[in-house]
Amino acid sequence: MSHFENTLAHAQQLDVQDPLKSFREKFHFPNFHENTIRYFTGNSLGLQPKSTREYIIEELDAWAKYGVEGHFLAKKPWFAYHENLTEKAAKVVGALPIEVVVTHSLTTNLHLLMVSFYRPSADGKRTKILCEAKAFPSDQYALESQVKFHGLDVAEHLVEVAPREGEQLIREEDILAKIAELGDELALVMIGGVNYYTGQLFDMETITKAGHKVGAVVGFDLAHAAGNINLKLHDWGVDFAAWCGYKYLNSSPGGVSGIFVHERHSYNPELPRFAGWWGYDKETRFLMQPGFNPMKGAEGWQLSNAPILGMAAHLASLDIFEEAGMDRIGAKRDLITAFMEFVIDDISEKNKDRCTFELITPRDKTKRGAQLSIMAKGQGRALFDALSDLGVVADWREPNVIRIAPAPLYNSYEDCYWFGQLLEKAIQ
Ligand SMILES: Cc1ncc(COP(=O)(O)O)c(C=O)c1O
């Protein structure tokens, strides 16, 4: 983009103009290194909001003061604590409140949702799952084990769409063609909304429509999309989705996950599911009666009472998202990622005699979020190690990719400028 310059002055000017600049102050930046840390791993573990401590201490104090009575006497009674998060999480993913609940962890939720939404037909016809090749390993294992759970053969029933020979990205036309080809054999489409490795964002609306056209159910793993992409899960008609709270959503290591179940499934108590008491109708839960009577909407997928400390951390972060708003976050995401791309291209061009690397993330801003994946040929690991020594916290993914994510809430344009400088130093 020609309007950028790879200079400190230009980066600082972009920071001055940044409507979200004050949000940086709301986060703790790691300081464990002799060099200033440049943190670009919000796509792996988001930074800790300074407010998280207060939110957790509020609950620790309530526990100390009230013991079990905190379920009813705490300022935010634990009995209904998750309800504090629902509307805020729904805004982040473009959903109605009834469609969202924050609960459990991501892979657990993917399994729970697939129990309901991967229902191979009894006549043995509609049995296949379509997913992307190189899905995150946990998703691969989850998908494989779901297929096996139904007594089906993985090689036959789990169909992957891969990039074409010599390409890094999956062509959407290939996904759509495969959906059409599988037709009435396709039970479920389950794809990562943003691929963890390449940072490729898939057109979830078009994929959903294509899946529905052949009668399949469509779900997404939004680990790399929630808090990153401007999602409209309700309008897109997605059947179900799950995401984790600890990446762009900054909600503590291993933090709680969210699920989305489209409103069209909200009022169907017959939908098969694995049940637990926290998904039981709230008004009559404590009558402890036999026979499961699920809550309406996504809440009906809860199994257990909420882990309050993790939920408190998530609430702290969701309050920041509410203040910033996904529209502003999305606008900065596009600009700061484009600036980072410009800086990387500039350093790459200047150093092309020493080191070649290629950005494998789409260059089209509508096809990516805040992540850029750099594939460094040959010396990738050495480059990554040199960057780490210089204080850059990025992320290495086998076999040869360095992932960096300028997180719009707390990364600055100056961070991106310094990344370029350190990249050049690492190359040298
Ligand atoms: C795309 C994706 N799916 C699933 C997972 C697994 O998440 P969890 O360990 O919270 O179940 C991750 C973790 O990074 C991920 O990136």
CA distance 16 to 4: 15
Q: Cβ < 6 Å from ligand 1: which residues?
A: 105-107, 136, 138-139, 192, 196, 221, 223-224, 244
Which 3 state secondary structure label does DSSP give 305? coil
Express as a percent the part of the chain with pLDDT over 70.
100
CA distance 165 to 359: 17
Q: What's the average model confidence in pLDDT over 271-295?
A: 90
Report the nearest atom of ligand 1 relative to the CA of 44.
14
Tokens of 166: 């010599």
Report the nearest atom of ligand 1 relative to the CA of 254.
10
CA of 164 from ligand 1 middle (Å) equals 25
Every domain of the chain and the residues it spans: 8-49+326-427, 81-323
Q: How confident is the model at residue 2 (pLDDT cuts 50, 70, 90)?
A: low
CA of 106 from ligand 1 middle (Å) equals 6
What CATH code would you report for 8-49+326-427?
3.90.1150.10
Q: What's the average model confidence in pLDDT over 262-289?
A: 91
**Whose Cα sits closest to atom 5 in ligand 1?**
138
What's residue 356's pLDDT? 77
Q: Is 60 exceeded by the pLDDT of residue 272? A: yes
CA of 377 from ligand 1 middle (Å) equals 27
Q: What's the average model confidence in pLDDT over 332-343?
A: 98
What's residue 1's pLDDT? 47
**Which CATH number does the domain 81-323 belong to among 3.40.50.2020, 3.40.640.10, 3.30.160.270, 3.40.50.1820?**
3.40.640.10
Number of other residues whose CB lies within 10 A of the CB of residue 166 = 5
**Whose Cα sits closest to atom 14 in ligand 1?**
44
Best residue among 132, 134, 136, 224 to mutate for probing ligand 1's pocket (most ligand atoms within 8 Å of CB) is 136
CA of 109 from ligand 1 middle (Å) equals 11
**Whose Cα sits closest to atom 13 in ligand 1?**
223
Which residues, other chains included, contact 103 with Cβ-Cβ below 8 Å and sequence gap of 6+? Answer: 82, 109, 256, 257, 258, 259, 278, 301, 302, 303, 304, 306
Q: Is 70 exceeded by the pLDDT of residue 311? A: yes
Best residue among 43, 105, 106 to mutate for probing ligand 1's pocket (most ligand atoms within 8 Å of CB) is 106
Query: Which segment of 18-27, 333-342, 394-403 scores lowest on mean pLDDT?
Result: 394-403
CA of 288 from ligand 1 middle (Å) equals 34
CA of 124 from ligand 1 middle (Å) equals 31
Mean pLDDT score across all residues of the chain: 96
CA of 347 from ligand 1 middle (Å) equals 32
pTM of this prediction? 0.97
Position 278: which residue type? W
What's residue 377's pLDDT? 76
Omega into 307 within 30° of 0, i.e. cis?
no
pLDDT digits (tens, 9 = 90+) for 29-55: 999 999 999 999 999 999 999 999 999
Which residues, other chains included, contact 191 with Cβ-Cβ below 8 Å and sequence gap of 6+? Answer: 130, 131, 132, 135, 175, 202, 207, 220, 221
Which residues, other chains included, contact 284 with Cβ-Cβ below 8 Å and sequence gap of 6+? Answer: 293
Best residue among 143, 244, 251 to mutate for probing ligand 1's pocket (most ligand atoms within 8 Å of CB) is 244
Best residue among 141, 196, 259, 401 to mutate for probing ligand 1's pocket (most ligand atoms within 8 Å of CB) is 196
Length of the chain: 428
CA of 112 from ligand 1 middle (Å) equals 15
What's residue 421's pLDDT? 98
Buried b (16+ CB within 10 A) or exposed e, 370-382: bbbbbbbeebbee
What's residue 289's pLDDT? 83
CA of 223 from ligand 1 middle (Å) equals 6
Inter-CA distances, 303 with 300, 328, 384, Å: 8, 35, 41
Q: What's the average model confidence in pLDDT over 237-249?
A: 98
pLDDT digits (tens, 9 = 90+) for 111-148: 999 999 999 999 999 999 999 999 999 999 999 999 99
Q: How confident is the model at residue 284 (pLDDT cuts 50, 70, 90)?
A: confident
CA distance 94 to 220: 14
